[in-house]
Amino acid sequence: MNYAEITGWGKYAPPLLMTNDDMAKIVETSDEWIFSRSGIRQRHYTHVSTGEMGWLAAERALAAAGVDAEDIDLVILGSTTPEEICPNTASYIKNKLGAKKAAAFDLNSACTSWLYGLNVATDMIKAGSIKKAIVIGSERISLVMDWKKRESCFLFGDGAGAVVIEATENELGLLTGKMSCVPDSRECLHLPGWGMSPLHLTQDIFISLNFEGQEIFKSAVKGMGDAIADVLEAEGLTAEDIDLFIPHQANVRIIQSLAKRLNFPMEKVVVVIDKYANTSAAAIPLAMCDALESGMIKPGMTILTASFGAGLTCGAGIIKWGDRIEPVGQSDESIPPYEGTVFDLLEDSFNHYGADAAHLLTKNQ
């Protein structure tokens, strides 16, 4: 039987930071208010596209795996913020990587997109239709933040993470995955007008996130909890058999509630939301890369992961890690830095959403 081992990993965290104190200069809020409700201290914002971030994370994952781009059969981009609806952004990444023979498609299940993508690519390897794939999560959600919505504008950050998976006869990689979607829950988390219906024929596009926190919290904990129960049962495991838990990084209270429901100690849970905020489809691969860098992931570990996103989509998986936790190589590729402050970067966004931030722009200082 084929399995799909994770052999490479890479991330891109944009260098521009928006701290909670910075956020308080735009919105009526404070570091204490944000951190106590979410666990977030800062978020990264990007000056380049979703595709560009995804490309660099993928380059780094290929280098870590020691795999040539020309040997890749499939590129999957999980994202809610693609550059275009048509053509897909995965094709841009494939071309820039030089993955000449690879198929490429985007997958949008909101924050669950990367986990859905890992499940799909793993099943394709198990079926024998491909041998090597790159699964990327990349998001530029800073573009659609309504700066007048105090309850949600601080929640999200930008970034990208990627993994290379390869066919193996060893029982490694995503052993069992569960994809699900909570019924009748679409309206509690969505971006009206972020698409083709209604069709926009003018430039007057105003995207503003609808966010019902209590309903999301309840549905997320139950949806992920149910998916986790399914994958544990499928593998004949209990929570005690799990060495490490890498959950979606949406809110530290959700993570804590889920760990409590599983009776799972927080010292075995990867939490990086303080550094990145919610990076949607990039959240789990970013957290996985950080866990490898910090030494939290050890050879042979049994790892649990779970996610949820708008829809409300949910998913969970059991990953068996291999022997290698060090990259085979390092990529020399990079993205040139932005020449300016985070407030310069967001000037158009502030103006579009009517934020009172003119006094923060470098040219006015």
Q: Which residues are catalytic?
A: 111, 248, 278
For the chain, what is the total number of helices (H) and then of strands (E)?
11, 13
Question: Do residues 52 and 112 lie in contact, with contact meaning Cβ atoms separated by under 8 Å?
Answer: no
Q: Give me the amino acid identity at 130.
A: I
- DSSP annotation of 224 reads H
Burial class (CB in 10 A: 0-12, 13-18, 19+), 212: middle
Question: Do residues 162 and 281 lie in contact, with contact meaning Cβ atoms separated by under 8 Å?
Answer: no
Query: Which ranges in 182-324 belong to alpha helices (H)?
Result: 213-235, 252-262, 273-276, 283-294
Question: Do residues 156 and 143 lie in contact, with contact meaning Cβ atoms separated by under 8 Å?
Answer: no
**The token pair that represents 128 in the structure block:** 């024998």
Closest by CA to 123, choosing from 15, 9, 2, 209, is 2
Beta strands in the chain (DSSP E): 3-12, 16-19, 42-45, 74-78, 103-107, 132-139, 159-168, 173-181, 189-190, 210-211, 244-247, 302-309, 313-320
